[in-house]
Amino acid sequence: MSAPSDAPAHHQSPLNTTTTANTPLKGDSTSAHAPAACPDPTLESNRHAAQGGQPTPHPSAAAELASLTISLKASLRQFPDFPEPGILFEDILPIFADAELHEGLVRALQIAVEKQFGKPDVVVGLDARGFLFGPSLALRLGAAFVPVRKRGKLPGPCETAEYQKEYGSDFFQMQADAVKKGQKVLVVDDIIATGGSAAAAGTLVKKLGGAIVGYVFILELDFLKGRDKLDAPVYTLLASQEEKLQH
Ligand SMILES: O=P(O)(O)OC[C@H]1O[C@H](OP(=O)(O)OP(=O)(O)O)[C@H](O)[C@@H]1O
Ligand SMILES: Nc1ncnc2[nH]cnc12
Tell me the pLDDT tens digit for each residue of 136-188.
999 999 999 999 999 999 999 999 999 998 778 999 999 999 999 999 999 99
Could you tell me if 134 and 127 are in contact, meaning their C-beta atoms sit under 8 angstroms apart?
A: no
User: Which ligand has its closest atom nearest to the C-alpha of 84?
Assistant: 2
Model-level ipTM above the cut of 0.95: yes
Residue 221, SS3 per DSSP: coil
CA of 180 to the centre of ligand 1 (A): 26
**Is the C-alpha dihedral spanning 206, 208, 210, 214 positive or negative?**
negative
**Residues forming a β-bridge with 71:** none
Q: Which has the closest alpha carbon to 41: 112, 103, 110?
A: 112
pLDDT tens digits for range 27-58: 432 323 333 333 354 455 665 555 545 555 56
Q: In angstroms, what is the span from residue 236 Cα to ligand 1's centroid? A: 15
Contact 196, 229 (CB under 8 A): yes
Pairing state of beta strands 184-192 and 211-220?
Answer: parallel
Pocket perturbation via mutation, ligand 2, pick of 33, 81, 166 by most ligand atoms within 8 A of CB:
166
Ligand 1 atom with the smallest distance to the CA of 166 is 3
Least confident stretch, 16-25, 157-166, 202-211: 16-25
pLDDT tens readout for residues 67-110: 999 999 999 999 999 999 999 999 999 999 999 999 999 999 99
Which residues does a 6 A CB cutoff place in the pocket of ligand 1? 126-129, 165-166, 189-197, 226
CATH of domain 36-238: 3.40.50.2020
Residue 42 CA to ligand 2 centre (angstroms): 23
Distance, CA of 232 to CA of 219 (rounded, Å):
17
The enclosing H or E element of 77 equals strand 77-80
